[in-house]
Structure 1
Amino acid sequence: MREFLYTCLIGLISGFTANAQSQYESGMNQAFELWQMQKPVEAANLFERIAKAEEDEWLPYYYAAQVNIIESFSMTDKSRKEQQLKEAQDLINQAATFSNGGNVEIDILQAMLHTSYLTLDPSVYGMKLSPVINNIYNEALRKAPDNPRVVLSKAEWDMGSAQFFGEDPKKYCDDLQTSLALFDKTSSVEQFYPAWGKERVETLIARTCKSN
């Protein structure tokens, strides 16, 4: 997942203005710079401080949670990982509180958190969490079929599930191509709105779908 982090950042930072006009914008840009410099703890802490200062912005909570979730995938200490995911869940809950209902970007984060938790022990958590993750992605796709990150995230989850059960993940290559086309049609609706994913889907297509 670490490569996922840095391909996310390419799309995020390239879309943000360099001339911040407010303290909020300045702080957000600084947090993204820390993240890009591979200082995730400092980035997450700054995102969280911004969130507490702004109070009515969902995006700082979103990014604080995202940093913690992505970093959790590489953790080997079970208790530390569980604590980090608990903190990320609290941040997701806060993001949902300050966002309009039905925010599929937050839904994707929730599915990612469950996926990270599942990796603690797939034999224990797979039966419990796999249906939950499936339901989140299916509902997100129903709500926002043209959101490229929804299509990408569901396809990547489906590909991982296929590999786990010894099936060919290439059967989801059409979904990846759909996601890529959607990225080319989609523009951010507000400053700092999630824009990650295009580089990730290009990597997955190159890695898995060369013959398709």
Structure 2
Amino acid sequence: MKHLIIIATLMVSGTIHSQTNFEKGMQKAFSLWEANKWDEAENMFERIANAESDQWLPHYYIAQMNSLKSWSEKDANVLKAQLDKAQEHLNTAMSISKDNPELLVMQAHVLTNWVAFDGMTYGMKYSGKISELYSKALKIAPDNPRVVSGKAEWDMGSAKYFGQDTAPFCKDLERALELFANFKPESPFHPNWGKERVEQTVAACKE
């Protein structure tokens, strides 16, 4: 019994140590990102991902960083390298955390990056898949503000493209704002972004 208690204590202390290292690493990565040191932040997330094989969050943020960089990228080769990296880490994250609505939203963003870069080439290829991702995420997490706002923005863009009324999606975005007001992430490191973007879009709806 004494040996079992010692083993159990060592296991618990090891878990606490691992969590502490994970938390310190994530805090450091976010600090670098906030200081606009994107490369250093991404490298830190990669080190965490390599050390913490059961954590989906560092992979998520690597994917997000590469998606964000790709919105303004004009070079096809650079864009492909960034989005391929984002996809690689998303695939890993999805293998760790199944049917995760945050990951489904990020997957939709990465595919939207391709459509935004070359709508003629990737619009037909990915539009249906993006809609499916948002619909699936909405079924899993109907009160997640990033799910609601992401789907509304995608549907609004589609409506504009086909000359349809966008007013119903403005209402969805207003609902997303309400959801942001009450949303509490699982930890300081879980996704908690998007409110400012929705505020801007809702304001544009009212103009």
Q: TM-score, normalised by structure 2?
A: 0.86
Shift of 1:158: 1.3
Structure 1 counterpart of 2:157, one-letter code: G
Structure 2: 5+ residue runs without aligned partners? 1-18
Q: Hey, which bits of structure 1, 4+ residues long, moved more than 4 A?
A: none
User: Superposition RMSD on alpha carbons, in Å?
Assistant: 1.5
What's the counterpart of residue 6 of structure 1?
A: none
The CA deviation string for residues 34-91 of structure 1, in whole angstroms up to 9 with x for no partner, is 2122222221221111111111111011111111111111111001101111111010
Structure 2 counterpart of 1:190, one-letter code: S
Task: Report which stretch shifted further, 55-64 or 186-195.
Answer: 186-195
Shift of 1:196: 0.9
The CA deviation string for residues 118-175 of structure 1, in whole angstroms up to 9 with x for no partner, is 1231012111110110111111111211111100111111122222233343331110
Note closer, same or farther for the CA distance 1:181–1:43 as it changes in structure 2 (3 Å cut): same
User: Distance in 2 between the 1:63 and 1:188 partners?
Assistant: 15
Structure 2 counterpart of 1:120, one-letter code: F
What's the counterpart of residue 168 of structure 2?
A: 171
Shift of 1:176: 0.5
What's the counterpart of residue 210 of structure 1?
A: 206
Tell me, what secondary structure is at the counterpart of 2:110? helix
User: Distance in 2 between the 1:111 and 1:94 partners?
Assistant: 16
User: Distance in 2 between the 1:97 and 1:131 partners?
Assistant: 23
What's the counterpart of residue 53 of structure 2?
A: 55
Are 2:108 and 1:107 aligned? no
Aligned residues of 1:40 and 1:71 also touching (Cα < 8 A): no
Shift of 1:195: 0.9
Aligned residues of 1:44 and 1:65 also touching (Cα < 8 A): no
Tell me, what secondary structure is at the counterpart of 1:113? helix
Are 2:119 and 1:122 aligned? yes
What's the counterpart of residue 198 of structure 2?
A: 201
What's the counterpart of residue 141 of structure 1?
A: 138
More helix by share: 2
What's the counterpart of residue 98 of structure 1?
A: 96
User: Distance in 1 between the 2:203 and 2:89 partners?
Assistant: 34
Percent identical: 48
Larger radius of gyration between Structure 1 and Structure 2? 2
What's the counterpart of residue 180 of structure 2?
A: 183
Structure 1: 5+ residue runs without aligned partners? 1-20
Shift of 1:192: 0.8
Shift of 1:183: 1.4
Q: Which has the higher contact order (CA 8 A, sep 6+)?
A: 1
Tell me, what secondary structure is at the counterpart of 1:22? helix
What's the counterpart of residue 16 of structure 1?
A: none
What's the counterpart of residue 29 of structure 1?
A: 27
Structure 2 counterpart of 1:175, one-letter code: D
Structure 1 counterpart of 2:105, one-letter code: I
What's the counterpart of residue 189 of structure 2?
A: 192
Q: How many residue pairs get matched?
A: 189
What's the counterpart of residue 12 of structure 1?
A: none
